[in-house]
Amino acid sequence: MTTSHDVAKLAGVSQSTVSRALRGLPGISEKTRLQIQRAAEMLAYVPSDAGRSLSTKRTRVIGVVSAELTNPFFPELVEPMRAEFERLGYRMLLIPDSSENPLEIDRLADGTLDGVILTTVVLGSQLPHRLAARKIPFVLANREIDGIQADTVVLDNQLGGKIVASLLADLGHEKVAAILGPADTSVGRDRGTGFQQGLSERRIALLPERVRNEPFTYSAGHKATIELLAAAEPPTAIFCGNDVIAFGACNAVASLGLIPGHDITIIGFDNIEMSDWDLFRITTVNGDLKGMAENAARLLIRRIASPDGAPERITLEPELILRATHAPPLGMRLRA
Amino acid sequence: MTTSHDVAKLAGVSQSTVSRALRGLPGISEKTRLQIQRAAEMLAYVPSDAGRSLSTKRTRVIGVVSAELTNPFFPELVEPMRAEFERLGYRMLLIPDSSENPLEIDRLADGTLDGVILTTVVLGSQLPHRLAARKIPFVLANREIDGIQADTVVLDNQLGGKIVASLLADLGHEKVAAILGPADTSVGRDRGTGFQQGLSERRIALLPERVRNEPFTYSAGHKATIELLAAAEPPTAIFCGNDVIAFGACNAVASLGLIPGHDITIIGFDNIEMSDWDLFRITTVNGDLKGMAENAARLLIRRIASPDGAPERITLEPELILRATHAPPLGMRLRA
DNA sequence: GTGTAAATAACATACGTATGCAATCGATCA
DNA sequence: TGATCGATTGCATACGTATGTTATTTACAC
CATH number at residue A31: 1.10.260.40
Q: Do residues B217 and B176 both lie within one domain?
A: yes
Contact B75 A53 (CB under 8 A): no
d(CA A105, CA B20): 23
Total domains, chain A: 3
CA of A26 to C1' of D28 (A): 22
Q: Do residues A225 and A171 both lie within one domain?
A: yes
CA angle A236-A262-B222, nearest 5°? Answer: 130
Structural domain includes residue A211: yes
- pLDDT band at residue A335 using 50, 70 and 90 as cut-offs: low
Give the lowest-confidence range in A70-74, A191-195, B284-288. Answer: A70-74
Which of chain A's residues have a Cβ under 8 Å away from the Cβ of B256?
Answer: none
Structural domain includes residue A100: yes
Q: How far is B240 from chain A (nearest CA, A)?
A: 18
Choose among A251, A273, A278: nearest Cβ to B251.
Answer: A278
Structural domain includes residue B56: no
d(CA A176, CA A263): 14
**Could you give the percent of chain A with pLDDT greater than 90?**
87
CA of A120 to C1' of C20 (A): 46
Q: Do residues A126 and A71 both lie within one domain?
A: yes
Contact B49 A111 (CB under 8 A): yes
What confidence tens digit (pLDDT) does each residue in B121-173 have?
Answer: 999 899 999 999 999 999 999 999 988 889 999 999 999 999 999 999 999 99
Q: Which nucleotides of D are covered by protein (CB under 7 A)?
A: 7-12, 14-20
Average per-residue pLDDT for chain B = 94
Q: How far is A113 from chain B (nearest CA, A)?
A: 10
C-beta of residue B121 within 8 angstroms of C-beta of residue B152? no
Structural domain includes residue B312: yes
Whole-model pTM: value is 0.91
Domain that holds residue B273: 157-287+321-335
d(CA A89, CA A81): 12
Q: Kindly tell me if the per-residue pLDDT of A146 is higher than 90.
A: no
DSSP line for B37-57: HHHHHHTT----HHHHHHHHS
Q: Is the CB of A5 less than 7 A from some atom of nucleic acid strand D?
A: yes
Contact B279 A278 (CB under 8 A): no
Structural domain includes residue B28: yes
Burial classification of residue B251, based on how many CB atoms lie within 10 Å of its CB (0-12 exposed, 13-18 middle, 19 or more buried): buried
| Res A97: pLDDT | 87
The SS3 call for residue A213 is strand
What phi and psi, each to the nearest 5 degrees, are found at residue A30?
A: -55, -35
Structural domain includes residue A52: no
Q: Do residues A175 and A276 both lie within one domain?
A: yes
CA of B85 to C1' of D5 (A): 44
What confidence tens digit (pLDDT) does each residue in A210-228 have?
Answer: 999 999 999 999 999 999 9
**Could you give the percent of chain A with pLDDT greater than 70?**
99
Which residue's alpha carbon is at the shortest distance from the C1' of D20?
Answer: A16
Could you tell me which residues are beta bridge partners of residue A178? Answer: A211, A239
CA of B19 to C1' of D6 (A): 22
Q: How far is B199 from chain A (nearest CA, A)?
A: 31
Q: Do residues A193 and A330 both lie within one domain?
A: yes
Contact B49 A112 (CB under 8 A): yes
Contact A46 B250 (CB under 8 A): no
Q: Which nucleotides of C are covered by protein (CB under 7 A)?
A: 7-12, 14-20
- pLDDT band at residue A336 using 50, 70 and 90 as cut-offs: low
User: A104 or B174: which carries more pLDDT confidence?
Assistant: B174
Contact A277 B78 (CB under 8 A): no
Structural domain includes residue A56: no
Nearest 10 degrees: Cα torsion A162, A168, A173, A175? -50
User: B336 or B283: which carries more pLDDT confidence?
Assistant: B283
Rg of chain A on CA atoms, in Å: 26
Which of chain B's residues have a Cβ under 8 Å away from the Cβ of A70?
Answer: 75-76, 79, 273
Q: Do residues B281 and B165 both lie within one domain?
A: yes
Q: Do residues B185 and B325 both lie within one domain?
A: yes
C-beta within 7 A of nucleic chain D, residues 161-190 of A: none
Q: Kindly tell me if the per-residue pLDDT of A110 is higher than 90.
A: no
C-beta within 7 A of nucleic chain D, residues 10-69 of A: 15-16, 19-20, 22-23, 45, 47-48, 50-52, 54-56
| Res B309: pLDDT | 87
What confidence tens digit (pLDDT) does each residue in B181-192 have?
Answer: 999 999 999 999
Give the lowest-confidence range in A51-55, A194-198, B64-68, B328-332. Answer: B328-332
Q: Do residues A236 and A138 both lie within one domain?
A: no
Q: Do residues A105 and A42 both lie within one domain?
A: no
Q: Do residues B282 and B228 both lie within one domain?
A: yes
Q: Is the CB of B57 less than 7 A from some atom of nucleic acid strand D?
A: yes
C-beta of residue A228 within 8 angstroms of C-beta of residue A179? yes
The mean pLDDT value for A26-49 works out to 94
Q: Do residues A125 and A214 both lie within one domain?
A: no
Taking CA atoms, what residue in A is nearest to B105?
Answer: A46
CATH number at residue A82: 3.40.50.2300
Q: How far is A67 from chain B (nearest CA, A)?
A: 10
Could you tell me which residues are beta bridge partners of residue B141? Answer: B153
Q: How far is A202 from chain B (nearest CA, A)?
A: 34
Q: Do residues B236 and B250 both lie within one domain?
A: yes
Structural domain includes residue B82: yes
Which of chain B's residues have a Cβ under 8 Å away from the Cβ of A47?
Answer: 110
Contact B277 A49 (CB under 8 A): no
CA of B264 to C1' of C5 (A): 86
CA of A46 to C1' of D26 (A): 32
